[in-house]
Structure 1
Amino acid sequence: MANRKAAVKRRIISKDGHNNVRIDNVEGMVRLYLHDIWTTVVDMKWRYKLTLFASTFVMTWFLFGVIFYFISLGNGDFETGSNSSHTPCLMNVQSLTGAFLFSLESQTTIGYGFRYITEECPLAIFTLVAQLVITGLAEIFVTGAFLAKLARPKKRAETIKFSQLAVICRHHGKLCLMVRVANMRKSPLIQCQLTGKLLHSNVTEEGEKTQVYQRSVDFHVDSSSECPFLILPITFYHILDEHSPLAGLNVENLHTREFELLVTLNATMESTAAMCQSRTSYTPQEILWGYDFQPVLFSSTGGRYVADFKFFDKVQVINNPALVSSNTEKQKLEENYKNE
């Protein structure tokens, strides 16, 4: 019994939308990641990205500082008995520390004027030019990846909230599975589309067993358009008819069937026109039969609508006519607002 519960709770997508699939035994994984270095750097966690950002500067300063040190060493600048007429490659550089400071000052264009290159060493001049070109490209790459991660629509998707539970009840006379979605920011999301995937094991006619089989689940919304304007909490529903992948689901077998319902919301940010995607999943234990969501949208005395998220995840039983009729006020309010 314990093994069965563990198998039911196993999920591919977590509630917060993260991928729970671990990738193992991929040949040449490091080479694949380095081949697409831009995506690798952008996808890095912040602690690694900050380390890379800082180490890019420090390592290039030190690397070219060592090169300048050996150039001066080869030119005999550190010999104590040098002729007074000897012109060093780098003025006022007497050690590795001085070469490092010269590299730092040159790369950051500080230019204190105390350390500088003379005309006697073309190799030092060429090294300085190479340093500015190479480090400039490296800084552009790292800074661009840093800004790209800050501007990723993934952060905007974190402000999209899904209901913790899904419910099954009658909607417009049809048995429907319903989920609630809300935008946590005032900036609206446009062209919103909710899609679903039913993930379950399957056995083909040839007897081949597929551990994870995907079937599309269509979701609809009570609106004149299938691309609603997400500025208030909206309830999406899937009709449980003979064409549904969940056909045959009933109150008796709901918690005995093994599946995972992956729900994905694709939307466009009005401010930047960038696409964002947010997802979650529901297991049979997170689907309630004979319940509906409590009203979350209210009207205030000042003529404004108020979305009270205290009721966002709350549900109510609808097994009697009184509860069903009390639900019509919420539906009319949401429908009128979406049709405006």
Structure 2
Amino acid sequence: MVKTHRKKISVRRLVNPDGNFNVVRKGVSRFDWDDLYHALLTLSWVKLFAVVGAGYIITNVLFALMYLAAGNGIENMREGNFFDAFFFSVQTMATIGYGAMYPKTLVANILVAIEALLGLLGVSVGSGLVFARFSLPKARVMFSRVAVVAPHNGIPTLMFRVANERQSWILEAEVNVNLVTSEITEEGQEMRRFYKLPLFRNQSSLFALTWTVMHPIHESSPLNGVTLEEMVEKEMEILITITGIDQTVSENIHAHYSYIPTEILWNHKFADILSKTRDGRRSVDYSCFHDAVALE
């Protein structure tokens, strides 16, 4: 058995193994205030907490400066002491109200009222963002690190494996496979073309364990007669999209993956991962999920 490993990822690939696009966007803003909600949802947890923390600190600093500028408007606050003003702002925004410091002038009371309102809005927005992040459905679909080309019923067939890593089912799962290639038009212009690859089976009513996706390379296939060298020259890439409904949350989920030419093994087949236990139940060995065997 030959255990396969992913080769170095090409910087020219369109989709990274994590499903994100490997595209550098130029001439367009990476941030839009009109799309702030979507931008915050797409941030990582670390960046999201960093943004929320920075906003919290900056807001309290600004209100602390306003309390200082308002003069002696806070009872028991040391005159001109920034830290007293800052922590009074924290207590006001969080509606803690220890009682040691409190506003005693009209200006201070107005600032407190404004900050209390902003604090309520901030808590509402922050709670909504965290809840939305937790409730956002995500697929846990594992793709084999390589695809293989081997005969199936006498027909050369492109194959790759997918597996549902959760215990729950993915209902009405559907997989779509496309070939992306570079072509030169009659005018000499280079273009990226997408060709849909028909599959033996592209739907599964109950996707619970593993699924070997197969594309027959017959006469009408875009891969018919294509060599590895030609795939590299034309920067071909196999794009995969899987969609379905998560049984637990009843929400649509999706997963993306791609294979570049160096990740396609010719004249190989996947190692068998299905077996039976002593009591007759089916068993799946995921430790061999990515293994491939060279054909004799």
TM-score normalized by the length of structure 2: 0.85
CA-to-aligned-CA distance 1:280-327 (integer Å, 9 cap, x gap) = 2112232223322222121112343221012212223445xxxxxxxx
Are the aligned partners of 1:233 and 1:296 in contact in 2 as well (CA < 8 Å)?
no
Aligned counterpart in structure 2 of residue 130 of structure 1, from 114, 120, 123: 114
2:59 & 2:99 partners in 1: Cα distance?
21
1:62 & 1:91 partners in 2: Cα distance?
19
Rg larger in 1 or in 2? Answer: 1
Are the aligned partners of 1:203 and 1:210 in contact in 2 as well (CA < 8 Å)?
yes
Partner of 1:40: 39
Are the aligned partners of 2:144 and 2:161 in contact in 1 as well (CA < 8 Å)?
yes
1:255 & 1:9 partners in 2: Cα distance?
18
- 4+ residue runs of structure 1 moved beyond 4 angstroms? 6-9
Are the aligned partners of 2:177 and 2:197 in contact in 1 as well (CA < 8 Å)?
yes
1:162 & 1:14 partners in 2: Cα distance?
12
TM-score normalized by the length of structure 1: 0.75
For the residue of structure 2 that corresponds to 1:146, the secondary structure is: helix
For the residue of structure 2 that corresponds to 1:35, the secondary structure is: helix
User: Once the 2 structures are TM-superposed, how far is the Cα of residue 69 of structure 1 from its aligned partner?
Assistant: 2.2
Partner of 2:148: 167
- 1:167 maps to a residue whose letter is V
Are the aligned partners of 1:292 and 1:315 in contact in 2 as well (CA < 8 Å)?
yes
What is the RMSD of the two structures over their aligned residues, measured on CA atoms?
A: 2.5
Are the aligned partners of 1:161 and 1:183 in contact in 2 as well (CA < 8 Å)?
yes
Change (3 A) 1:99 1:286: closer
* Identical counterparts, % of pairs: 25
2:9 & 2:259 partners in 1: Cα distance?
14
Change (3 A) 1:103 1:163: same
2:189 & 2:175 partners in 1: Cα distance?
29
Q: Does 1:17 align with 2:19?
A: yes
2:68 & 2:108 partners in 1: Cα distance?
10
Aligned counterpart in structure 1 of residue 91 of structure 2, from 105, 109, 119: 105
Structure 1 alignment gaps of length 5 or more? 1-5, 78-88, 320-340
The structure with the largest strand share of the pair is 2
2:205 & 2:200 partners in 1: Cα distance?
10
CA-to-aligned-CA distance 1:100-141 (integer Å, 9 cap, x gap) = 2222212212211121223xx333222222112223223322
Partner of 2:221: 244
Are the aligned partners of 2:161 and 2:210 in contact in 1 as well (CA < 8 Å)?
yes
Change (3 A) 1:184 1:8: closer
Q: Does 1:201 align with 2:182?
A: yes
Partner of 2:192: 212
User: Once the 2 structures are TM-superposed, how far is the Cα of residue 200 of structure 1 from its aligned partner?
Assistant: 0.8
Are the aligned partners of 2:94 and 2:119 in contact in 1 as well (CA < 8 Å)?
no
The structure with the largest helix share of the pair is 1
1:245 & 1:291 partners in 2: Cα distance?
20
1:134 & 1:109 partners in 2: Cα distance?
11
1:1-340 counterparts in 2 under 5 A? 10-26=12-28, 29=29, 32-71=31-70, 73=71, 77=72, 89-95=73-79, 96-118=82-104, 121-153=105-137, 156-157=138-139, 159-204=140-185, 206-221=186-201, 226-249=203-226, 253-257=227-231, 258=234, 259-319=236-296
Which one is further off, 127-136 or 89-98?
89-98
Which one is further off, 144-153 or 287-296?
144-153
User: Once the 2 structures are TM-superposed, how far is the Cα of residue 11 of structure 1 from its aligned partner?
Assistant: 1.3
User: Once the 2 structures are TM-superposed, how far is the Cα of residue 9 of structure 1 from its aligned partner?
Assistant: 7.1
Aligned length: 284
1:7 & 1:183 partners in 2: Cα distance?
24
> Relative contact order (C-alpha < 8 Å, sep 6+): which is higher?
2
